[in-house]
Copies of this chain bind each other. A is one copy, B any other.
Amino acid sequence: MKKNCLVLFLLSCGIYQASAQVVQSPDGHISLNFQVNDKGEMLYQVDVNKKAFIAPSELGLTGKNGVNLSDKFRVKEYKYDSVNENWTMPWGENKQHNNHYNEMAVYLSNPEGTELVTRFRVFDDGIGFRYEYQVPGVDSLFVMDEQTAFNFAADAVSWSIPASFDTYELEYRKLKLSEVENANTPLTLRTDKGIYASIHEAQLVDYPEMTLVAHGPHGFKANLAPWPDGVKARYAGGTFQTPWRTVQIADKAVGLINSSLILNLNEPCKLETTYWIKPMKYVGVWWGMHLGIQTWKMDERHGATTENAKKYIDFAARNQIQGVVFEGWNEGWESWGTQQRFDFTKPYQDFDMKEITDYAREKNIQIIGHHETGGNIYNYERQLEHAYEWTAEWGIHSVKTGYAGGYPDGHSHHGQFAVRHYRKVVETAARYQTTLDVHEPIKETGIRRTYPNLMTQEGAKGMEWNAWSAGNTPSHEIVLPFTRLLSGPMDYTPGTFDILFENTRDLPTRQKWNDQDKGNSRVNTTLAKQIANWVILYSPLQMASDLIENYEGHPAFQFFRDYDADCDWSEALQGEPGEYIAVVRKAKQNYFLGVSTNEEPRTLTIPLTFLEADKTYEATIYADGEDADWKNNPTSYRITNKRVTSTDVLTVQMAPGGGQAVTFKPRN
């Protein structure tokens, strides 16, 4: 502690010493201590507000074939840097970002000849660090394990999904850290002292994803998704760097959401132009298949027919919606469940590409292509270049991809092999000025900063689970903003208005297609919460999930017409994971507020101080009906139109499982 105090003193003078092993956040409230123990192993610890937050925790990787990536390290030098820069995204929750951190790069080497820079960056909203290895004289290199640990100083409440190398579509659990056996990231926690934090990673490139396994009384160790042969990462040559390991830290839960840390730890945009990357709202032929009333394959219940496509294009054109997606448009679905060999340039006979693309062009609607791979990465990569070229020739510059199915040859879904594949798709799509919406993705780690054509991804239990399973609980969608969405946008596809499937449940065409379908599936929210989710569950490609017929006649659909997916600024105003959340976004001159609650009815008081001070706004409030209740009366809602200013305070009353959304448009 004496040493720490000295370092603190020196830092507070703005003087960095080569011998120092502490780096603090710009505002000083977070400090990170680095040390090498007597075995030459690296350790770090993190204090928040001068109290231990992460106790000394292990660092380093495990090599193979005599390559030592883990111990006998000796510090050669500490290098310090401070950065405070503003930068912009072409789209995002926020277009302006501030990147403000103090960096400590620890230069190490060991007797086996391994050169390592362990680079720490400490922000006011958390920390990040990564390993930059250089092993001279090897022509290949194998990472067998990662030692990185997060040994929290005390137990805490946490929210996470179980670790899986194959899926993120799992229930969130609220557990004490000490109860978590394994988890995927982001794992979010709240300490008894009211500190909120979230473990994740940034810039996951050419490396397997990191999951967490229990380690010590209330800590974790990294557990990487392996290759089929057990190797975690492999490189030709001896130089590589890992993704950033990140811990976002905030004194309020919403502070995690309002943090740019993950994006700040990614490389700047590599694309020469980004004018062609535009957020949009979309609808599509998709939900009908999940409801079991349509099929992907070309039979008498086929969803993606020319006729349906034009109907959806018409609806979009009528409703200020820019895009439409058609799943099941191409050959390959008939082999579903076997070794799938989709053809990404062969439309089904009843899906007339020319007629549909001409029609969409005439109506000024963007078609979002769809590439379901079924997990057959080889088949996709074989066609990749040609598929994106062909798609672009049809004027389609946005593609939804899907990987529903196991990978070939025993590859895990989230290993280095897969990470490389997803990167290749992003780069290929970029060459054809094509944006991506990736389902069954690798988790987001801020790649969108470098390749902003990677716009949105699934990577959690989304709306579709409501169609054919017990579905998502009312609290699930209020855990997501504090966990999954910290990593980046999610194509959750909110906005199902026919909450109880009343319009489709008894249709003669309905067939059970999914084992989890017990015939009693439904959406577990009120209708107003579905609207609020369009704001809360950020996606630059934001879908109105329901069958378009189910929006007809609903005045509440005006919210989606008005909603602007291309927002400029956002702020999470209030919230607790799994309990409630209030988020406001600004797009041009308009503001959109989304508020929601879990199973509990709730009243929030929201000062409208985010509005511009000298303006009057027309507020249109989409609220739960007085008698609404997600379980028994989910579709009852109220819309109120009135004038407000920034000095007004909004009282947001929400039903059990309910929500509220508000548009604010300036009057003058």
Contact = CB atoms under 8 A, between A and B. Distances in A.
A66 B502 CA distance: 78
A544 to B, nearest CB: 15
Contacts of A554: 558, 620, 641
B639 A553 contact: no
Contacts of A627: 642
Contacts of A639: 555-556, 637-641
8 contacts: A502-B667, A554-B558, A555-B555, A555-B622, A557-B558, A633-B643, A637-B640, A638-B641
Counted per complex, copies of this chain come to: 2
Interface string A638-668: 1111110000000000000000000101011
B317 A620 contact: no
A557 B620 CA distance: 13
A34 interface: no
A573 interface: no
A527 B618 CA distance: 13
Given A318-B317, A559-B555, A643 B636 contact: yes
Contacts of A553: 558, 561-562, 620, 663, 665
A609 interface: no
Interface of A: 317-319, 502, 527, 553-559, 561-562, 618, 620, 622, 625, 627, 633, 635-643, 663, 665, 667-668
Contact of A625 (B318, B555, B642): B642
Contacts of A561: 553
Contacts of A559: 555
A545 B238 CA distance: 74
Given A318-B319, A553-B665, A625-B641, 5 more contacts: A554-B558, A635-B642, A636-B640, A637-B641, A639-B639
Contacts of A665: 553
B641 A555 contact: yes
Contacts of A318: 317-319
B635 A618 contact: yes
The 7 nearest A-B residue pairs measured at CB: A555-B558, A639-B639, A318-B318, A555-B555, A636-B642, A637-B641, A638-B640
Contacts of A668: 502
Contacts of A558: 553-555, 557-558
Contacts of A663: 553
Most B CB within 10 A of own CB, among A527, A620, A627: A620
Contacts of A637: 639-642
A435 B663 CA distance: 41
A317 B643 CA distance: 30
Contacts of A636: 640-643
A501 to B, nearest CB: 13
A154 B221 CA distance: 98
A668 B503 CA distance: 9
A527 B639 CA distance: 14
Contacts of A640: 625, 636-639
Contacts of A527: 641
A132 B132 CA distance: 109
Contacts of A556: 555, 639, 641
Contacts of A643: 633, 635-636
Nearest to A668: B502
Nearest to A319: B318
A633 B641 CA distance: 11
A554 B561 CA distance: 10
A127 B106 CA distance: 104
Given A640-B625, A641-B625, A641-B635, A620 B319 contact: no
Nearest to A628: B642
A584 to B, nearest CB: 18
A561 B318 CA distance: 12
Nearest to A559: B555
Most B CB within 10 A of own CB, among A555, A561, A620, A663: A555
Nearest to A506: B668
A635 B617 CA distance: 12
A150 B309 CA distance: 66
A361 to B, nearest CB: 15
Contacts of A562: 553
Most B CB within 10 A of own CB, among A618, A642, A643: A642
Contacts of A625: 640-642
Nearest to A315: B318
